Amino acid sequence: MIVMGLSGLPNAQDRLLRDTPGVHRIDERNCQGLDSAAALVVDGRIVAAAAEERFSGDKGTGRLPLGAIDYCLEAAGIDAQDVDVIAHGFDYGRHRRVFAGSLDYFEDVLSGRTVVDGLTAHGWTGVADRFQPVNHHFAHAASAYLPSNFDSALCVVSDGMGETESLSVYQARDGHIEKLYCQPISQSLGFLYSICTRYLGFASNSDEYKVMGLAAYGSPAAHRPLFQELVRFDPRTGGVRVNWPRGSLDSPALGYPKALAFLESKAFPVGNQDEGHLPEHADFAAALQERLTEVLTELVSHWLTRTGESSLCLAGGTFLNCKANQALCDLPGVDRVFVQPAAGDDGTSLGAALYASHERGVPYVGPPAGFDPYTGPSYNEHEVRAALERVAVSGAVRWRHIGLSDAYFSAAAADLAVDRVIGWFHGRMEFGPRALGNRSILGLPRGRNIKERINNMVKFREPFRPFAPAVLEEDRDTLFETRGLSPTAYMLCTAEVREQHRADVPGIVHEDGSARVQVVREDANEVFWRLLREVKSQTGFGCVVNTSFNVKGQPLIMSPLTALETFLKTSMDRLYIEGFVVEKVTDGQ
C-alpha cells in the first residue's frame, strides 16, 4: 500500500492577494491552506516527508507541493502511477452548501479540484479516482496519535481553523480515533494568538513564536484582566470561550481591523514592527502567553479526567508553543506526551497519509528509537563536492575533506570550544520547523555574548529571540529540570535550566530561566550525538546552542548549494558538511 499525503490549498493565498489589492505584507498569510507539504507512506512506513518551502525558497508557501512530491517519489524509487491513494489534509466537500453564495471561491480554493487539476497538469493520470480528502483536524490528530506508539491517548488539536472547527478533542484507542468535542472557528485560540501577534506589529500566522519569546521579558499583571475576560474555560462543555466583540474576525486580509480596534481600546496603539517593540508590548505578550497556557491546562486536565487517559497527543499550530507544552507535560497524571514535530499544517500531509493507510488495514510501522523526524533529502559526497566546486569558481571558499572520522568531530568541537560559530549539515533534512541537528547553526552556550553574535551577525533577527540547546541525554538532568517526556527530543517543550548551571550555559538561558531543549540520543541521530560527545570531552558539557540553518525570512536550508550561499552571506566561521570542512577566503589569504 503506497499513500501520498498532501497539505495546502494551492490557490488560497493567490486569491487573497487578488481579491484584496493592497494587502499589507504582514497580512499576506491571513488565509487558510498555507505550509504545503508532501509525505509518502509505503506499507505503513514513512519513507519521505518534506515541506514545499524547502524546495521553492518561499517560506510557508501553500502552493501545490510539486517539489516535495517529486522528492518523495524519488526517495521511494517509484513513479506517480505506483501511488495507490492521494490523501489530502482538507475535506471541504461536505460543506459546499455553506459557500452557496461564493461557489467560485469554493471551487477555486477549497474543493480539492485545484489539487487534482495540478497533479494532472504535472503528468499524473487517474488522480480523481485515487484522491481522498481527509478532515483537517482529523489529519492533525492522526499525525500525532498513529506514530506515537501509544495504545490509547487523549488527542487535542488546536490551530487557527480547520474546515469549520478550531479546536478538537479525541480519544484514541487501539488505532481508532473518536471525536469527543470540537468548537467553532469563532472561538479559535489560534486566531486569538495570531490577532494579538498582528496587534504587536508582527506578521500573523507566521510570527507567533516571536511573541512567545517576547513574553519572557514582560510582566502579565497590567493586561491580565483583559485576557481573563476575553478567554475563559467552560467546564460545562470542556471547551474555551473567546469573547470577541461582534465582527472581530471579519476582514482577515486587512489585519482584523475590528479586533485590533478592540485591543487598542483596552491597551495601546497597534505596534509597528519597523519601530521596534516597547516594554508594554512585552507585558501584553506575557499576559497573552499566560492566559493561553492557563486555558489549555484547564481544558486538557478536564478531558484527561473525563477519559481516564494518562497519555497525551498534541497537534496543530497552537502546540508549537513550547511554553504551553511544558505546562501540559507537567500536569499531574500525565505519563507520556507526543507532539508530532511537524505540528503545523505541513504535518497534515503525514496525518492524512497515515490515516488513509491505516483505514485500509496497513498500520504505521515506526523505527525502534521512536518517531524519526529526519525524512527530507540527503546528499552524498559527490553532490557536496559538486556544490563546493561550483562556489569555489569565485574564489570565495576553500575546503578539506576529512570524512566522518574522529578527527572531523574533534575539529568541529575545537572550533566550538574557542567560541566559533559553525554551520552543521548532515544526513536527511528535518520535517517540521525545528532544526534538530542536521541543518543547524551551532555555538557553545558558555561562549562570550553568543546570543548577540548569532542574532546580529548570523541570523539577522530580533535581539529578544532565545536560542535552544541540544544536549546529550546523559547531561539532560544535570543541566535541566525535565521529566524526559518525548517533546524534548524534538525541541517542542521548554524546561527550566538548573540554577546552579545557568552561569555555565548562559547562551541558552532565556529571560525566564527556561530553555527549549532538544535531547539527543545515539540511536536517534548518531552523527549529531558524536559531535556532542566530543564537545563534552573538550568543554565539560555535551551541550551546544542549536538554531536553524537559515537567516531571517528564509526557510530552513535543504541543499549543499543553499548551505554554502547562506554560509557566505553570514558571519559563520566554518561550515561542516558531510565530512568537508569549509572556510571562507578573505582578502590577504
Residue 171: beta bridge partners?
A: 154, 178
Amino acid at 508: I
Amino acid at 254: L
**SS3 state at 20:** coil
Class of domain 184-339 as given by CATH: alpha beta
Nearest to 259 by CA among 424, 30, 41: 30
Q: For residue 272, what pLDDT is reported?
A: 87
Q: Is the separation of the CB atoms in 176 and 190 below 8 Å? A: no
The C-alpha cell of 23 is what?
A: 494587502
Class of domain 2-149+344-359 as given by CATH: alpha beta
Cα first-last separation, the chain: 57
Q: For residue 364, what pLDDT is reported?
A: 97
In angstroms, rounded to a whole number, what is the distance separating the alpha carbons of residues 374 and 395?
A: 33
Q: For residue 398, what pLDDT is reported?
A: 96
Domains 184-339 and 381-584 agree in fold: no
Q: For residue 97, what pLDDT is reported?
A: 84
CA dihedral 204, 513, 501, 529 (to 10 degrees): -20
Q: Per-residue pLDDT tens, the chain, 589 aa: give them.
A: 999 999 999 999 999 999 999 899 999 999 999 999 999 999 999 999 999 999 999 999 999 999 999 999 999 999 999 999 999 999 999 888 888 678 899 999 999 999 999 999 999 999 999 999 999 999 999 999 999 999 999 999 999 999 999 999 999 999 999 999 999 999 999 999 999 999 999 999 999 999 999 999 999 999 999 999 999 999 999 999 999 999 999 999 999 999 999 999 999 999 987 777 889 999 999 999 999 999 999 999 999 999 999 999 999 999 999 999 999 999 999 999 999 999 999 999 999 999 999 999 999 999 988 999 999 999 999 999 999 999 998 899 999 999 999 999 999 999 999 999 999 999 999 999 999 999 999 999 997 688 888 888 787 888 888 899 999 999 999 999 987 666 789 999 999 999 999 999 999 999 999 999 999 999 999 999 999 999 999 999 999 999 999 998 999 999 999 999 999 999 999 999 999 999 999 854 5
| H/E segment holding residue 561 | helix 560-568
The β-bridge relationship of strands 468-472 and 518-520 is parallel
In angstroms, rounded to a whole number, what is the distance separating the alpha carbons of residues 164 and 161?
A: 7
The β-bridge relationship of strands 574-577 and 422-425 is parallel
Q: Where are the domains of the chain?
A: 2-149+344-359, 184-339, 381-584
Q: Does domain 381-584 have CATH number 3.40.47.10?
A: no
Q: For residue 456, what pLDDT is reported?
A: 82
Q: Is the separation of the CB atoms in 211 and 464 below 8 Å? A: no
The C-alpha cell of 185 is what?
A: 472557528
Number of H helices, E strands in the chain: 20, 23
**SS3 state at 548:** strand
Q: Is the separation of the CB atoms in 282 and 463 below 8 Å? A: no
In angstroms, rounded to a whole number, what is the distance separating the alpha carbons of residues 69 and 50?
A: 8
